[in-house]
Structure 1
Amino acid sequence: MLHRTILAVALTSASAVHSQTNLPFTLDWRFEGPAAPYFAAIDNGNFAALDLNVTVAAGDGSLDAIPKVATGAFPVGMADINSLIKFLDQNPGAPVIGAMMIYDKPPFAIIGRRSLGIDDTPQSLEGKILGAPPPDGAWAQFPIFAAENDLDVSAITVEPVGFPTREPMLAEGNVAAITGFSFTSYLNTARLGVPEDDLVTLLMADHGVELYGNVVIVNTDYAEANPEVISNFLQGVAEGWAAAIADPEAVIPLLISRNPAADAELELRRLQLSIEDNVATEWVMENGFGIIDDARLATSLDQIATTYEFVNAPDASLYFTNAYLPEGGFSLAE
């Protein structure tokens, strides 16, 4: 009788595991602090409770993640919505769309040193050397930032730099400022020994840039065939972010278990900065997590058009859908 009971339990467990939908998810970047919420959703059982077996893959930028989802190699992923907009303009009809806004404020920023003449005003960049990696997402938005703040770009010397040398050049004083993600370049420069009170962050979103940031993207063919899977996935993502916001320290070990070489203290700071500056914004806390403001998206399209020539007339409905979100989005309170 005991053997039959054990066998029945084993078969039931196997059936439960088998019933879960395997869902590979690609990030746009490496396993750093802001990736911890997705591991929290896995390890805390949020995805499993929704009958999902989610696996997370590291990425190498939005231009790497978007094609992975568009081709169906990954049904879901993470990418910068501005890169997605340009991708869809250049690849009309590609089966990919934004389905859940994560960064209400994008982390595009200028990181400068006060000792080298950079202060809290964009105009302080004039007459200085700005280090910018050509493929950098923040550098791609710099023309909008410059236009919104009436900067004399001819008075700014732009020094093309590589990603590995960007923060070292700022730390060594070879450039007065750099473009980058706020929570990445700031902390990486401080880690190189630059006192934090010597660093200034000019978040582009605080200086006239109305763009959105990273968004969960879905393959539209997969989503249309599996709408409940996508809705459940987005719910699990929201629960993971709610856990990270409630206790950032608790989710960092889940990240470190996937990236043992990472500095836990550094990644905690990175996660906290992303929460404060990009995710749990005043607008999100008042209106809901995951949704967008249609008027703001329209404004962002106008801003993109100031530096990018659309091949096709921009259409907001091609870039974001709330079809898989609850009305009013999610609450970030656990």
Structure 2
Amino acid sequence: MRHSLFGAAIAIATALSPAFAQATDIRFTLGWKTQGSDAPFLLALSKGYFAEEGLNVTIDQGEGSAATVTRIMGGAYDAGFGDINAIIQNAAQRPGEAPVMVYQLWNRPPFAIVTPKSSGIETVADFEGRTLGGAQGTPTTRLFPVFAELNGVDITKVSQENMAPNLQEPMMIRGDIDGAFVFTITSWFNLIANRQDPAADYNWFQFEDYGMDLYSNGLMVSQALLAENPDAVAAMVRAVNRATLEVAKDQDAAMEAIMAFDNLVDPEIERARLNFALTNLMNAPEADEIGMGDLVDERLTRSIEIVAQGYGLERLPDASEIFDRSFLPPVEERRFAVEIMN
């Protein structure tokens, strides 16, 4: 009899209280192996911000920021941290299937060409007659022809060598190549790992400084989740926004969350990588006006045109196919101020 009464009480409580409502399962993929720049998602997980929003989020490591898009499109994941330019590429080729960005985190791109100062390359014109190396298919490599055209570089005079990403810095250090097509947030720390000084001994030709004003990584969700559970999308955006603002002010809490998720990472390197993301990839001037998570439609439209040119896309998707701001909290709740804690 007591069991029956207890069961009835639970049933009543379940019907009346949101606390007893079943959480929505979300399968989430990171962009790569655990890194400091993943802090907003890992902090939202460890501090229970997802759970407070009624979400049961499972986070897996990734295989590349472009692979986040294909993982979501394949149905293995509902959401992830990945590159908006990969969304553009897939949306052009498979309309209505590509995921949609709902919270833009990296409002500046990590795409760059890095050269040793000892190479004597001081301007983009100096690329002519030299050899640059990069991994085939990465945005930096694929978009170099557009970079060259915009900046008057004769691409026929630039030798390009394909190689695995992990070989770029070692080959550049040995002098086998004169520069590399890289992601700054990766290459900077690869050079440090190779006992190099990336600030003092290398020149960084960042695409954004040469007419390639692109966006990059952020929170994206599947078409299915958008259609079937928009409330869950809004809840996830709220949790990530809350965590992002906290990470900007408290890197100690961010690192605790990262180490709780993966205690095999190097805390010193990943703290530095987090600070790099905060100060180099998440601080576009536009964020002061529109807040973290949003973007400028006109800039996104220009980005779509650049990506279409670089990837030879036959169709230009509309900006509304790529980014959906309808889930963002009010701008006053997305004010972003970085306080670096060393």
TM-score normalised over the length of structure 1: 0.89
What amino acid is the match of 2:196? V
User: Does the CA-based 8 Å contact 1:43-1:254 persist in structure 2?
Assistant: yes
Superposition deviation, residue 330 in structure 1: 2.1
* Unaligned stretches of 5+ residues in structure 1: none
Superposition deviation, residue 143 in structure 1: 1.9
Q: What's 1:141 paired with? A: 143
Write the distance in 1 (CA, Å) between the matches of 2:228 and 2:181. Answer: 40
Counterpart among 231, 247, 255 of residue 252 in structure 1? 255
C-alpha RMSD of the superposition: 2.6
Q: What's 1:160 paired with? A: 162
Q: What's 2:129 paired with? A: 127
Write the distance in 1 (CA, Å) between the matches of 2:157 and 2:229. Answer: 53
What does 1:37-76 align with in structure 2 at a 5 Å threshold? 37-76=40-79
Matched, 1:31 2:34: yes
User: Does the CA-based 8 Å contact 1:117-1:176 persist in structure 2?
Assistant: no
Counterpart among 225, 231, 235 of residue 238 in structure 2? 235
Superposition deviation, residue 32 in structure 1: 1.0
What does 1:162-241 align with in structure 2 at a 5 Å threshold? 162-196=164-198, 197-241=200-244
User: Does the CA-based 8 Å contact 2:308-2:316 persist in structure 1?
Assistant: no
Deviations 1:267-311 (A, max 9, x none): 111111111111122211332111111111111122223333333
Deviating more after overlay: 279-288 vs 253-262: 253-262
Write the distance in 2 (CA, Å) between the matches of 1:253 and 1:140. Answer: 37
Deviations 1:48-70 (A, max 9, x none): 22222222111112442213222
What amino acid is the match of 2:312? E
User: Does the CA-based 8 Å contact 1:29-1:61 persist in structure 2?
Assistant: yes
Write the distance in 2 (CA, Å) between the matches of 1:53 and 1:314. Answer: 32
What amino acid is the match of 1:219? S
TM-score normalised over the length of structure 2: 0.87
User: Does the CA-based 8 Å contact 2:96-2:223 persist in structure 1?
Assistant: no
Deviations 1:220-269 (A, max 9, x none): 22222211211110111112221221122431232133333321111111
Matched, 1:330 2:334: yes
Write the distance in 1 (CA, Å) between the matches of 2:57 and 2:295. Answer: 25
Q: How many residue pairs were aligned?
A: 327
What amino acid is the match of 2:125? Q
Aligned to 1:257, the other structure's residue is in SS state: helix
Superposition deviation, residue 104 in structure 1: 0.7
Q: What's 1:106 paired with? A: 109
Matched, 1:314 2:317: yes
Matched, 1:305 2:313: no
User: Does the CA-based 8 Å contact 1:253-1:264 persist in structure 2?
Assistant: no
Superposition deviation, residue 206 in structure 1: 1.9
Superposition deviation, residue 26 in structure 1: 1.0
User: Does the CA-based 8 Å contact 2:46-2:260 persist in structure 1?
Assistant: no
Identity %: 29
Write the distance in 2 (CA, Å) between the matches of 1:253 and 1:148. Answer: 43
Aligned to 1:279, the other structure's residue is in SS state: coil
What amino acid is the match of 2:107? D
Matched, 1:93 2:100: no
Write the distance in 1 (CA, Å) between the matches of 2:335 and 2:51. Answer: 20
Write the distance in 2 (CA, Å) between the matches of 1:327 and 1:74. Answer: 28
What does 1:261-300 align with in structure 2 at a 5 Å threshold? 261-300=264-303
Superposition deviation, residue 176 in structure 1: 2.0
* Unaligned stretches of 5+ residues in structure 2: none
> Cα 1:56–1:12, aligned 2, differ >3 Å: closer, same or farther?
farther
